[in-house]
Structure 1
C-alpha cells in the first residue's frame, strides 16, 4: 500500500481493479514450496499472469478492517484526525503529535491490522512491517519520508512518518486525462534518479526499491518528489540476488519475474513510469514488455526525440542494454533542452544531411476517420487500405477520390491483398473478409477466435493468414472455408512468405515456422529469443526475418538453421525487403539497415533519429520507409544518403507502396498520402 495516500487520489495500489502487486519476498519465500514456486518459475513472460498471493492476503480480504475513530489517541501522544487510505492489511491516517502544544505538527500514521487467524502468518506480517520501519530508519534523503516512531498497541503495529501534503503521480495523471508536460516529468525523473542513486549506493548494502510506479511517487506543491512505500524494498545481498517474483505487473522488469533483483530493474520500472506519464497509456492494461508496440510519440506527438530515446533505453529487455546507473540516466535527462533552468543544451537528433534534405511533392492526401496502421495496396488504378475506423477504403490512385468503403466490426491493422477481382483483409473483429474490388460488395467472411493483425497472402487461390487465436490458417480463396490450420503457442502477427509450396511465418512464441503449404505439416521451426512479428522474405536460399530479440536472421530455407545473424540496437518489428544483393530493414533503434543478403554484413545504415517499425520498399534505386517521427524517407539504395523526406502530422507505421512513380503510405494522422517518388 502507498505510504501516504491522500483524500482525492484515485485509489490505493492494493485496491485498484487493474493493478497487481505481489507480497513481500520474505513472506512468500517462507510459504510452502508449491505456492512459493508459483510466483517464481511458472510465469509466462508473454502474457499477463495472476500474481501469487499468500494466506495473509486472503485472511485480510475476508476479515473486516478495523478503523480508528477520529479523535482517538495512540501512546497518549498521537491523535487520529482522519484516514488517508486503506489497503488490504494496513491503514494510513493523518495524525497529530500532541507533544507539540503550541503548534500543530502533523504526521502520517501507518497501522498494520493483524487480522490473520494463523499465528505463523501473523508473525510474517509483523516481520515485514518491522522490516519496512527498520529500513526507512536507516535512510536519510529529502525524497524519502522520515521515520518518527514505531510501536505496538492493542495488537496492532504502528509506524509514524513524515506527512507529505501532495498527490501521487497517478492521481496527477488521472486529473490531467492526457499525457503530462515533458519538462515537468523530466524534472521529476531527475529527482527520482537522485533518490535511486542514493539507495543503490546505500552502505553497508545496496537497496533495490522493486516497485517503482506512479502511485508510489508523491509530488508536493513545490514540485518536490517523495518516494513512498518501501514495504517490498530489498537489501541486496551480493551473493544471493534471487528471490520470488515481486512488484507490479506492467512496471516490473523481465528479470524481476524470474525473482532477480538488480538496481537496473528500478531503472526499467522508472522507464515504464515515465512511459505511462508521458503517453497516458497504462502498462498494467497491456501485455508485459510490449512498450515497443506502443511508440511514445504515437500517443504524444509533442514529445521530444531526446526524451523518447531515454525512456526506450531504460525499457530495454536485456539488463546490459539499459542505463547502467541512475546517475547515467539523470545526466541524459538533464541534457534535454529546457530541463535545467537557465540552460538550453542542444542535442542533435539527426545527421546534418537530414536537416538539409529536400522536400518532395504531395500529389494528394485522403482523410479517413481514424489512424492508418495498415499498408496500402494498389491494383487496377485503385488504392486499398484498412483503417482503425473499422473500414477498408478504396481510393482512386490518380486523383485521391473516394470510391467505396466497407465496414467491419473492428479496427483494421492488417494490410489488404488483391487476388483476381477480390480484395482480402483481416480485422480486429477476428474476421477475414473477401470483397469485390470494384464495388466493395462482400463475397465471404471467415471467422477466427481472436483479432487478425497478420496480413493475408495469396498463392494459387489459397489465402494464408495468422490470427491472435494462435493459429495459422489456409483458406479457400473462392469460398473462405478453412483448408487447414496449424496451432502455435502465441498470437501470429507476422505475415507469410510463400516459396516452392512452403510458407514461412513468424510467431509471438519466438519461432519462425516453415509449413507445407498444401497440408500445414511442419517442415521445420527455428526459435529466436523473443516474438517474431516481422514478416519473412526469401532470397538466395535463405529466409530473412527480424525478431524482437534485436536480431535479423538469415535462416537456411531447407533446414531452418541460421546461416547468419545480424545484431541491431533494439527490437526489429520491420519486415525486410530484398533488392538485388541487399536486404533492407528498419529497426526500433532508429536505423535503416542495408545488409548483404548472403552474409548479413552491413553495407550501410541510415539514422533517422527515431524508431522505424514501417517496412521499407525499394524502387528505381531508392528505398522508401516511414518513421515514428512522422516522416516518410527516401534514401539512396546504393549508399544510404537521404534524397528527400516528407513530414506528416503523426507517426508513420504503415509501409509504402510504390506504383507509377507515386509513393502511397498511411499515417496515424488519419491521412493516406500520395507522394512523388
Structure 2
C-alpha cells in the first residue's frame, strides 16, 4: 500500500502508516518529535511558541464506495493522522486503475502550519509531475475540494523500510542486503540530482522508502524536496527529520546534493548498527564491522558520508554509488573464493550413448562433481537496476553487457570499467528478454507490455517498436544475418518480422501453450521454439508454415522428451545439436532430427537458463528452487562431450533466470531474481 508521508507509527494493516503529530518550531520551522520540549536544531523552547497539530482534525471522512471529484471511487482508508489521510481508490475514468489519494486538511492548523503544509503539498505535486523513474511514484491528479487538498498517485503495495527494519530488529541485516539497497537508493537519488535544476530530496529516511513484495524500492513523500538554486546562500525554510538531516538543512546554508548523501549515510548506519539516528541527532557511534562480515573500509566510508562538514563528504551520489558497487564487488569476490565445491553426487565415469538413440530411449548422466572446481569467483557485480533482473546479453564484440528486468529498463554498461553507458526507457512493464544485433549497433527487448522495442545501443534511443503480439512477450532473437527478428510469448505464437522496418513477415502457431524460448540455427535457416506444452519445435524460418515441403527433414519437428514445461532452448554453434532446459530439472541434448543424445541431471530444481559456449564444448545452465540461498540457486557449467560437471557457480543467492557467455568464452554473466548482475570467470 502507499505509505502516508511523515509516518511514525504503524497502523494495524500491513503496509499502512499513520501520519503522526509533530511540533514545528516557530523560530526555525524544524519538524520535531511530538514529545520534544526544545527544538533540536535551534534549541528554542517549543511549548511557548508552537501550535501543536490537532490529531483530531477533520480529515479521513471519505467512506467506502463514495465518489470523489466525480471519478475516484474510494475503497478504504489506509492511513490517517494529524495533517491528513491516505485512501486506496479506483480511477473510474482511466481503466479502473488503482490509485492512492493523499488528503490534506487545513482544520486545526495554525496559519503558519496551513501555509507550510499547503506549500509542501503543492511542491510535491509539481515535483513528481516532472519526474519519470521506476523508483518514484507517478502522479495523476491534484485538486482542492470541500476544504481539502488531494493528490492522486500510484498505489504502492508493500511496507515502508521503517517497518521492515522493525521486523528485522532481532537480526542484523547482511552486508550484501545493505549494499544492494544502498546502491538502488543511490540510483534513484542520483536521478533527482541530475535533473536541471537538481532536485534535493531532503527527507531520506526509512519511513520514506517503500518496499514492494517483489523487492522494488520507491521513494515517497516529496513534501520538503526542493530545487537547488545557484547563488542562493541558504534555504528559505528549514526542515528535516531529526537524526537524518544534516546541519545545513536547518538554515545554516543552502541544501546541496550532499545533504542527501548525509541522509543516506544515516540510513545505512542504522541498517548496519540497528541504532536509530533520531535518538542522538548529529552523533553517530563508529561502526565496528568484522572483516569476516563486511568489506574492508565500508565503515569508514559511511562515516565520511556523515561528516558534519559537507565539503568532506563524497562529491556526489554517483561517487557514492560507485564506491558501494566496488565494496559489493569486492565482497562478492571474497565470498565466491571462500566457498568450497559442493559434493552432491559420487563421481561417475560414463561415455556418451550413440547419437542415433530414439527419443523414447532416454539415457541420463548424473553429474560427476567431485573434483569440480568453484572457478574464478565474481569479477564484477553490476548494481544499476532497482528491481529484479530478468535478462542479460553480451555484445558481439565483448565490450558491453545489456541487462533488463522488472524495473522496465534496458541498461547497457561497459564490461571493462563497469561504467554505465546508457539506459533505454520506454517499456510500460517488465522486460523479459534481450538480443543484440549481429553488428552490435542495436538491441531488441521483449516485454510484458506486449511489445518488442529496438534501441540504438550507443545512446539508448528507441528506433521503433513491434506490437503485433496480443500478450506478454517472453523471448526475442536476432537472425544471424541481422535482417530478421523472431519474438514469442504467452499468446502461443512465434512471429518473424523485418529488423529494419518492423514489417510482419509471418506467424508460427504450432504450440498449444505459452512459448518461453526461441533460438535461430547458426545459418539462420531454422528456428527452435520451447513451450509450456512440454515440446520444442524446430521449423523452417525461410518459408511460412503451411508452405513447408515434406522432403525437408527439419519441417516442424517436435521434440517431446521433457515431462514439464520447457523454459529455454539453445542451438549449438555448429547447428548440429539443440539443448533444452526444463522445469523437470533436466537439460536435454539432442540432434536436430529429434534423436536424444543424453540428459543432464545435475540440477536439483527447475532449470530456467541455458547457453552454449562459443566453441560448443560447454553448456552453462542456471536453476533455482525459489528459496533464497537454496541449494540449487546456481549456474552449472558442463562438458557437452562427456557430460561431466566442470564447475558450479553459487554467486547468485536466488534462482538463476538468465545466463550468457562472453564471445571469447572466458567469462559468464548471470542474474537471478535479485537486482544485481554477476560477471565471473569461466576458465
TM-score (norm 2): 0.43
TM-score by length of 1: 0.43
